[in-house]
A and B are shown apart, each in its own frame.
Chain A
């Protein structure tokens, strides 16, 4: 049937007045294309259209190909698609590949300063040639401007072709270059060059154009690394340590900027934060452990290779019951892998990070809004349970702009600092303080902080210890502590975020995690239209809350959709719930690009039909 040949998500396009448009801009890294990409993204957003932008960039500073994909969808489906209505093909190196990705009946804008490689020609797409380089050479004098402005000229053509509101774009330029009139003028000039050229030479607007909508009321456009940094600022983190690694660097950059702005006393110039660029990730996690042991809220952000290095000390934090917060912005592994490409390949390594019996609390944000929320909650959980909490984001959530509801904060909110005995409680204490005795119903024992009161002193150690904190090699004493740690982890299931569930009473369901959410929800709509109703669950934390088990129990088959080769979430569900293994099937996509609904639909259908 037709659905199987066409990329499924394009098959329903153009059938209604609902805007559904995908464009891709192919460029060369380091030529300043990102400002033009953002301009288009923000213009769609301001027109009230649900939109997403996926930046597919190389691990390179200059010269390699880079792409930016924008999806505009009136129904709110903003997952990535694999076929495009409009390709702005400005990189001759990748013409052939780029033109292959245009849907039948779609359009290619190309720079006609140079001839087009005939082998790239297709009869089922339209070619819109515009001499971009030549226009820039005539209009601008400096070599730098001649290169940079090409992006804005082609952006102008896209504005005309897609009927994007020109005033909105001009206003965005005015805001961006406020106070820098020359720059604003040259950008506006370049924009109009492309705009006018397109109006004179092409049939504008194209049939697949956009119109104003009211889809973004109360929404903002933001990436997950920025919102996570905001979350840590709002959670009251004062110490952070990190070692530069893509794609987590922008998180600590954002945190640093925020601290400079909101944590520096304007009068004294003194800082209520300390951010250390450590010598490696072993040091990052060590610094966080030391600061947390001493009562500060401290975190580190990293990616897979950093998690590998942190393994030994994650075990130390777990066994000494020291709260720590770690963000893993996942990228494609193993080893250096594809540093700028997305994946969900660290689920298992994080769940059981370190040697011996260790289990951790994991949080899986699904978008930048949850990055903020979970960043705040990660500290409450880490301190409540005195244990490492890892937040697993990824390249797609962390570095791409998403439309999310405006972030809000309840000023009455107070952090949960967990059970800590303060000076007052210690002073009047008669009995000796035992670090690991007398747990509460969550199996947590109150801790004490250095420097507060002599009665609170204890000796934290990564070696075998009994409930007094003393060294032990006695089986019973050792077991008492490690068994309580297992109970503590299990108790956390009641306090972590519940899964997001959308149920219509179907017998079959899609289960997913993190950034896969939008593609999976779109796939459910597409499959429903094909007569296959499905329920939906997005897991948001480990240990799994009871709602996860209930959902699995309620379905005959669950397809677990995730972005790694080895079905890590499925494995974790098999290990940590009572679900029979054969009731869980896998749909896997792990090539490094954000998930599309088409991949999910294909994956499900392939298994339903066999």
Chain B
């Protein structure tokens, strides 16, 4: 094989390997919201593969989320099972994590799981975050079970950092809402 071809082959292996890593990571689920993977949740945004090494950056949702370490362990185990000698998982606070970056598909899965998805915070830029949030929180929340907007906030803080507790007056059920962040 001439040198150019060999380089090409190596590059292809690396691309295949990277795709394989992403595919495996899509199988690592959030422990509390198993319908979403860490990739769906944008907790994993970047992967670097070099021979037997893989480096993954994880962007925490809420900085104090107690599940972060569990997620990291699962990522490490998953990638070791692909045969990587060195698995390097790092938390970074330098990348943005916002519910605004979740895909429509991810929001649909949340709703199907019985969690009201977060409203988008993308409101005019001139306002500061607290105002944006105030307006977002004031918007009606749709019940994930019956679609009613006759709902009320029961508790500002829920069972987990990422959730708030709501009650639907129409179907008389409590439900969680993923906090817009």
Q: Do A and B come from one complex?
A: no
| Interface positions of B (Cβ within 8 A of A) | none
